A = this chain, B = another copy of it.
Amino acid sequence: MMPTSTRVPHRVFGTSSSGNCHKVRMTLDILGVPYRWHEIDITKGETRTPEYLAMNPSGQVPLLQIDDHTWLPESNAIMCYLADGTHLWSGDRLQRARALQWMFFEQYSHEPCIAVARFIRTFLRQPDHPRLPELEKRGYQALDVMETHLSRAPFFAGEFSIADIALFAYTHKADEGGFELTAYPLVHAWLARCLAQPGTSEMPAPTA
């Protein structure tokens, strides 16, 4: 059966400076899947219109449009959908679950600290925001867990996979959230290994 993606190009509703959206862009680029990118400006309420909420009741980006009547939200679920059956999500059921382990870690323990700190500093421009100290403490805990893992393996779930893409997205711009990575040499080296993968790219900075 031909993959859906070769029949009708996927459409992505996304914000280029969002790590969650950048994950989807990189997965498509790495897999060489054609797509059309529809840039969404969340600051203009473009995810709160009735049309957008009809496609995604959660009102979030990214959103993958698969056909005229089918949409898939949640960045990490989109990556699983796109990578299913490819080298980006391979191996036995344990290795595939390992990728999910790190993707759930990313959404629960990493993104809510490191991405939110970046949002507060670069979008809201509030360097004295009262939540920042707690976010930084928990963000460094997530980086500690990553550094420990990388002392035992070059990637997060066997070969380079969607787990690495998910963690790469906000880690490679952690400095924009106020995080200093010099104490994390293994994370630093892993970021370079990720960037060496064809199709991987740096995320653009938010515009004011």
Contact = CB atoms under 8 A, between A and B. Distances in A.
Interface of A: 57-58, 66, 70, 72-78, 80-81, 84-85, 93-94, 96-98, 100-101, 103-105, 107-109, 111-112, 145, 148-149
A72 B97 contact: yes
Contacts of A100: 74, 76-77, 80-81, 100
Nearest to A107: B108
Contacts of A70: 94
B73 A94 contact: no
A105 B145 contact: no
A58 B105 contact: yes
Contacts of A145: 57-58
A97 B24 CA distance: 14
A123 to B, nearest CB: 18
Counting every copy of the chain, the complex holds 2
B57 A84 contact: no
Contact of A72 (B94, B109, B149): B94
B74 A84 contact: no
A165 to B, nearest CB: 15
A57 B104 CA distance: 15
A96 B109 CA distance: 24
Given A97-B72, A148-B57, A104 B81 contact: no
A100 B40 CA distance: 24
Contacts of A105: 58, 73-74
Given A70-B94, A80-B97, A81-B93, 12 more contacts: A57-B145, A57-B148, A58-B105, A58-B109, A72-B94, A72-B97, A74-B100, A74-B108, A77-B97, A78-B97, A81-B94, A85-B93
A101 B74 contact: yes
